[in-house]
Structure 1
């Protein structure tokens, strides 16, 4: 990587780089906040990877294909990507906020986080709209709601999410500091216009643009769609005099609350960081709180399978049956292997017994022959 004096950085980043000029040694001590974030990363990564792999394995191979299974598979795939990227963020923090895996992987790994953020928001909004249409337009849903169209909608969602993630990929880079650390952070002073411009204002515009794009596209708009959809469903059921099941109410409340609690802190501090003045206490607070709020955002990838999958009794039953079948298969293989070994051992023992009997017979016959020869020799000598 080229040295920092040959690369143009935004004024704020440049000042941060210059502040490390006199620091010749890299500090590796971890703060209590970093230790807490690393612990959360490890927990979320372990639980998220296991449960999302379980969902993909069971729903993908043991559940009959349906509209809801398509939604769940895509949501689990997005959450699996996010939780699979967590160990690399954990490594980054454990190394004292030093990225050692190269600039390209810095962009890719960071982009996975934003991709999951957009895909999760879009999918949760689409699932809410799908359930709303099933209740409000049952005839239309019966005629036009199918697996193929749901798959195409998921394809469009992934394409839109990738499109929204491209700016975050472009403006992510490794930044070499004078104290030996390498940051994996935003680098807005790229793709600069050819005419005259103010670098500070340009960087600020790009920073604000991405922050508010995340806020509206990945959080506010999906949240509004989710709330309006379930409100419409609730109103429709109330007009028909239908009693809302407790499970449905609990699911709706859990979805909205978990989505808000997991993503609101990240978007709040992202916007706070770009709208407050330089050096303001709120900006310093946002800069310190952003890493842990991003970690909380990963929690949504752990909660989604619990809310959307394990809240479905039929699917839970299928998962238990599949796990039972797997355990039975493993036990059957172990029992078969044990029986095969016992059979082999019996065969060996039987062969040894037969061989011993043959050796005994041969020895006996040899002894008898020798005795006969001795008797013949004695008789001939006496004569």
Structure 2
């Protein structure tokens, strides 16, 4: 999975200075296997999801939104080996300044796009249930393609600070760290530079928290709460499964992203406490599994997707290992479906 999107904590010391400069062994022991595992599982599973959505299913509004949601996780996953290697070498960054900026801006891009697409999916379901007539007239693949483009452009713009403020720094022991430097474009007295850099850091934190957590969390919660009330009011469903899925979606979003923002808030303080390290560990765990858990949660609630996914995987293995497999099975898999 993609870490979804955590971009600041991964390559930054969890101690002020190198602590003499080594990451606590517990964080290192958890981070390295977790990130490499997330890379392997995330690329394989999300790659299969993308293949099925792109080539085996009809291009509907749902399919397009889910495709780009998973694409954001898939792209972010390719940065995880760089992050894991840095942890493995006690936070030493050996890939240069350009990759320092690219890796962190890509992680940030993945974070923003994933939460934006999760919000867009929630709004889309809200409109389908509460405004069916409007949805029938205006909810088209072409219109949602414009929204998708807007999400990617907005996420890229919000990720720009990591191209500007992220830089490498050589330490006294000849090791190199990749971290944010909010004074990089500031000249002047040391005390004024420090105060201004702290203000910039605070502004980045507040903006990121509002845009990538508080607002999406409000949107997702509002949409599913209204959907739930509408469904109960009309008595459309006899099963409680849709409501469990809605509650799970809200809780999973909160649990996966809240530790990250708490950790970023703790980093605003000058001292790094054991609490900060604890939330770093929580952040690594929750954001690593989020990239696999979120798409699986949403996609596997659709019976059509599960059926086509199973048929597609069987057809893929059959065509790979059986030279005499017939084309008829492959044609059967290419049926149009929706989530």
Bin of the TM-score, shorter chain as denominator length: 0.7 to 0.9
Q: Name the structure with the higher helix share.
A: 1
Q: Report 1:5-84 matches (<5 A).
A: 31-84=25-78
> CA distance change for structure 1 residues 55 and 297 in 2, over 3 Å: closer, same or farther?
same
SS in 2 for 1:58: helix
Runs of at least 5 residues in structure 2 that lack an aligned partner in the other structure:
1-12, 327-339
Match of 1:315 in 2: 305
SS in 2 for 1:267: helix
**Superposed displacement of residue 195, structure 1:** 9.8
Please say if 1:292 is aligned against 2:286.
no
Match of 2:92 in 1: 98
Cα distance between partner residues in 2 of 1:193 and 1:115 = 29
TM-score between the two structures when normalised by the length of structure 1: 0.76
Please say if 1:328 is aligned against 2:318.
yes
Decide whether the 8 Å contact of 2:263 with 2:280 is kept in 1. no
SS in 1 for 2:267: helix
**Superposed displacement of residue 309, structure 1:** 1.3
Segment of structure 1 superposing worse, 253-262 or 57-66: 253-262
Cα distance between partner residues in 1 of 2:205 and 2:323 = 54
Cα distance between partner residues in 2 of 1:67 and 1:334 = 37
Match of 2:240 in 1: 246
Decide whether the 8 Å contact of 1:51 with 1:305 is kept in 2. no
| Deviation digits for residues 272-308 of structure 1 (CA, Å, limit 9, x no counterpart) | 221x4x33xxx42355346434423232111122111
* CA RMSD in angstroms, aligned pairs only: 2.4
SS in 2 for 1:243: coil
Runs of at least 5 residues in structure 1 that lack an aligned partner in the other structure:
1-12, 337-383
Cα distance between partner residues in 1 of 2:187 and 2:174 = 31
**Superposed displacement of residue 194, structure 1:** 7.6
- Structure 1 residue ranges (4+ consecutive) displaced by more than 6 angstroms after TM superposition: 193-197
- Bigger Rg over Cα: 1
SS in 1 for 2:177: strand
| Deviation digits for residues 127-175 of structure 1 (CA, Å, limit 9, x no counterpart) | 1011000000001101110101111101101111111110122111111
> CA distance change for structure 1 residues 74 and 246 in 2, over 3 Å: closer, same or farther?
same
Cα distance between partner residues in 2 of 1:231 and 1:174 = 45
**Superposed displacement of residue 311, structure 1:** 2.3
Counting matched residue pairs gives 312
Segment of structure 1 superposing worse, 93-102 or 79-88: 79-88
Cα distance between partner residues in 2 of 1:112 and 1:242 = 42
Decide whether the 8 Å contact of 2:53 with 2:63 is kept in 1. yes
Cα distance between partner residues in 2 of 1:247 and 1:47 = 27
SS in 2 for 1:63: coil
TM-score between the two structures when normalised by the length of structure 2: 0.85
Bigger relative contact order, structure 1 or 2 (CA pairs below 8 A, ≥6 apart) = 2
**Superposed displacement of residue 196, structure 1:** 10
**Superposed displacement of residue 96, structure 1:** 1.1
Please say if 1:260 is aligned against 2:254.
yes
Q: Report 1:130-209 matches (<5 A).
A: 130-192=124-186, 198-209=192-203
2:292 to 294, 298, 302: 302
